[in-house]
A and B are shown apart, each in its own frame.
Chain A
Amino acid sequence: MGIRQALLRVAIAAAGLPAVALADNAVSGLSLEDLLKVEVSGASRYAQPLAEAPSTATVVPAEDIRRFGFRDMGEALQSARGVYTSQDRAYSYLGVRGFSRPGDYNTRLLVLVDGARINNPVYDQAMTGNEAPIDLDWVKRLEFVPGPSSVSYGGNALFGVVNAVLWTGSELNGTRIAVDAGDGRMGKFSLLSGGRTANGLAWVAGVAAYGRRGEDLHFPEYAASGGIAHGLDRERYLKGMFKAEWESWQLAANFSERRKSVPTAYYSSVFDRPGNYNIDRELHLDLTHASTLSPSLDQQARVHLGNYNYDAEYPFAAAINRDEARANWWSAEYQLIWSGLRKHRVLVGAEVRRYSRLSQRNFDINPYNSKLEDTHDGNAVGIFIQDEWRIAPRWLANLGLRIDRQTTAPTIASPRMALIWRPRDDLTLKAIGGRAFRAPNDYERHYADGGDSQKGNTELRPERIRTREIALDYTPTASSRLGLSHYWYTIRDLIDLETDPADDLSVFRNQAPVRAEGLEVDGEILLAGGWRVRGSMAWQRVTQDTGDAVNSPGRLGKLLIDGPLPLAGEGATLGLNLQAMSARRSLLGRAAGHVTGDLTLRSRSTTSGTWSLGLYNIGDLRYRDPVGNEQAPIDTLLRDGRQWRLRWELAL
């Protein structure tokens, strides 16, 4: 008899039942009355069902990731209405609700892995491309909650929260192997294995290794230097993950290293010279505990340890310059969930983050010339309360408030109110209002490179967003769904890069208010024969004192179709992903609108594995993304043309 069963017996005895009732077959012989008295454990009770979320959430399950051949988190999230991606061959960027500033590192989006924050503290960067610390093969589902969520998570949750839920050992109960090959001499190997041992320990371990040589890229902006960057688009990553669950405890560890060479000669380095690259290394350790204190009181605790290392080199004409950032931090979080009052479920909690080291260095290597030596530490503290109040049978209110205080910002309150009404079984209406914030980060406050290109600004104030949204969800039949959302937001004190005319240096400054309004519609229909059609449209207008915002498309359209692949046997699938985007303003001009299509064909699963072939940008369309001023003279950058990926998966 394992410890689990022994504990179960104790729990049942405590509940006033004879422990004898538990024979070898544990609970399956108990009557319903007795079952309802059994004390249970496990983290799943805290999983917030998205149906009750005070927002309009999207879920991308692992099955969709496979069917549509999504290659990274950004690509998968782009299937949600109003989400778009861009990139500058150094990092990938996610735009939400028409907002994605070039040269900004997704700072206004919060990314969680199994509920733990992974934005790094130096740049506030949320990584959603290959640079992300997790591999997409480990993801059971991606949850995307648009709108302000500082009320739950503190800073950075201005436009949304992405939560990557990873597979657990008991769900996997076996091993999965995947081998990829693609153009540009791309290869990837991933292994994920998990199970549950006889004494109740569930474990899962994963490793993923990726490499791509890339193509020689042509940049007309550098025609004077030949215009072609030879073999400078290389990328390589190695990621590992381990997770163990035992009783009410869960321990997770995650390591990642991504190396990318940059072909664009940004920050005015020498074009077509090898040695312009960046490396991001991350280490995360996460321990959570969830248990029950009394029949109406649950607790949840989390301790997180993080380490981030960034290294980059820039070949300049006079010297090779090196950029470094280092961060060590830990955080602790505690929550109580109380359901003792009728019609209320109250959550109170506190979070402490301690940045023991936030340092940035910049220097020329040879001859050595130090330009920046900057080290700080810092703290952030937040307390929060949330009440889910069932006002009437068809009315639910969600009220929350979080107070944050951190070294680089004054005390900030982030409230959120949501009212959810279900006048009919097939109709849900939501009205949501909330505020969120982001404190200036270490990079924005202190980065300077000795008068070459950029200087710091310690006078920065936190930026704040105020959002209102009304949303509708209609499910007229079992095979159709329609969603609608209308939102308005205002950002005050937006932190953005500008050039100081006095010394021609880039500096982050608080900007005039940014106002936006948007409308999003999405629909889904299931057709006979197993076909599924999903589509969405988003209209948005983001304006500031200088006119329309940069990298903000006025219209976004998506069409995703998946179903059984004809003539390929039972279980073979086809996934078509069409993405349309209207023209975007760039810093100096504009990037034209475009429509791209990705097609993924997947064979049925046999004992010798599953094959899939993904074709990306089938039409080989030449489209461009606006980029930041660090890329000058490049104003818009060409995206990848047609690409392919062949994948073999085996489940053991």
Chain B
Amino acid sequence: MFSRMRLRRIAGALLAPLALLLALPSPSVAAESAADTEVKAAVIYNLLLFIHWSKETAPPKRLRLCVVDGGELSTSLRQHENKTVQGWPLDIRRIAATPEELSSCNVILIEAGNPSALARAAALSRSRPLLVIAEGATAAEHGAMIGLRVEGGRVVFDINTGALAKSGLAASSKLLRLARTLID
């Protein structure tokens, strides 16, 4: 009743182009990745330069940026690893939002479509210094200190100054000026 020959023919037809694709030049991400993630990654790196960490809140040796369930953006962010941020070398980590992993981060980046991770990171940031950056149009309203989004084909960001203050952090006046909206 199940025609093996037919399935085999279909399998052959499907696998042939697949084999061809596998033979394509090996993928290279670092050289040229999608423009929007590259720009976002560069914006994130630049944002870190303008966040004020007080003596009490400053990270000891390295500034660790954790990406929750990271996709493309974390690949682009890798280009900024080990660059210096206010004297600290930058660490990039992909994490799965467990408490252990969260506790080692200074900065958390949450990509779009992950509301529970955002809520969790936002709650954690109320009890200790933790910079929460999230993608999405209403991310800043949902507890992110910096909400990244694309508007009119440009990357823009919103700042939640109240959330920043609760975590013992502050944004430079330059950042506040460049932000699309400020939420208290």
Contacts and interface: CB of A to CB of B under 8 A. Distances in A.
A425 B113 contact: no
B118 to A, nearest CB: 6
A236 B150 contact: no
A164 B112 CA distance: 15
Contact of A47 (B18, B29, B113): B113
B31 to A, nearest CB: 6
The winner among A40, A170, A174, A238 for most chain B CB atoms within 10 A is A40
Interface stretch (A253-261, A328-336, A365-373, A489-497): A253-261
B49 to A, nearest CB: 8
Contacts of A28: 38, 41-42, 45, 79-80
Given A57-B115, A196-B27, A425-B143, A32 B43 contact: yes
B11 A59 contact: no
B21 interface: yes
A558 interface: no
27 contacts: A2-B32, A26-B32, A28-B80, A31-B46, A35-B42, A39-B154, A42-B34, A49-B113, A57-B115, A170-B33, A170-B34, A173-B29, A175-B22, A198-B28, A242-B17, A257-B10, A259-B2, A277-B1, A345-B137, A478-B121, A478-B127, A479-B120, A481-B119, A526-B99, A527-B99, A530-B98, A530-B99
A207 interface: yes
Contacts of B37: 42, 44
B173 interface: no
Contacts of B38: 26-28
B142 interface: yes
Contact of A61 (B40, B69, B102, B163): B69
A532 interface: yes
B141 to A, nearest CB: 7
Contacts of B45: 28
A8 B36 CA distance: 10
Nearest to A232: B1
Interface in A198-256: 198, 200, 202-203, 205, 207, 209, 234, 236, 238, 240, 242, 255
B5 interface: no
Interface string B107-127: 000001111101111111011
Interface stretch (A129-137, A291-299, A461-469, A538-546): A291-299
A191 interface: yes
Nearest to B115: A51
B154 A40 contact: yes
Given A198-B28, A478-B127, A205 B18 contact: yes
A116 interface: no
A471 to B, nearest CB: 13
Contacts of A295: 151-154
A36 interface: yes
A40 B142 contact: no
A203 B21 contact: yes
B11 A528 contact: no
Contact of B120 (A141, A481, A529): A481
B155 A35 contact: yes
Contact of B1 (A196, A275, A476, A528): A275
Nearest to B28: A198
Contacts of B146: none
A174 B178 CA distance: 38
Contacts of B114: 50, 59
Contacts of B113: 47-50, 59, 141, 143, 165
B1 A49 contact: no
Nearest to B4: A236
A239 to B, nearest CB: 9
A195 interface: yes
Interface residues of B, number: 83
A99 to B, nearest CB: 25
A393 B184 contact: yes
Contacts of B156: 36
B35 A530 contact: no
A33 interface: yes
Contact of A4 (B28, B32, B121): B32
A258 to B, nearest CB: 11
B129 interface: no
A526 B101 CA distance: 12
A379 interface: no
Contacts of B11: 207, 209, 238
Given A49-B113, A52-B136, A422-B141, A296 B123 contact: no
B142 A27 contact: no
A459 interface: no
A478 B124 contact: yes
Given A51-B139, A207-B15, A292 B118 contact: no
Q: Which of B33, B141, B151 has the most CB of A within 10 A?
A: B141
A59 B2 CA distance: 36
B115 A49 contact: yes
B126 to A, nearest CB: 7
Nearest to A476: B123
Interface in A310-367: 339, 345
Given A30-B42, A51-B139, A526 B98 contact: yes
B21 A35 contact: no
Contacts of B183: 393
A207 B155 contact: no
A193 B39 contact: no
A169 interface: yes
B14 A479 contact: no
A272 interface: no
B142 A51 contact: yes
A36 B114 CA distance: 24
Contacts of A473: 119
B50 interface: yes
Given A207-B15, A479-B120, 15 more contacts: A32-B46, A32-B49, A32-B175, A32-B178, A42-B36, A45-B150, A51-B118, A51-B139, A203-B21, A259-B1, A275-B1, A296-B151, A393-B141, A425-B163, A526-B99
B2 A475 contact: no
A426 interface: yes
A193 B35 contact: no
B138 to A, nearest CB: 4
B79 to A, nearest CB: 6
A292 B36 CA distance: 13
Contacts of B14: 207, 238, 240, 255
Interface pairs A-B: 4 shortest CB-CB = A195-B27, A292-B153, A478-B124, A295-B152
Nearest to A67: B96
Interface in A14-72: 26-28, 30-33, 35-42, 44-45, 47-52, 57, 59, 61, 63
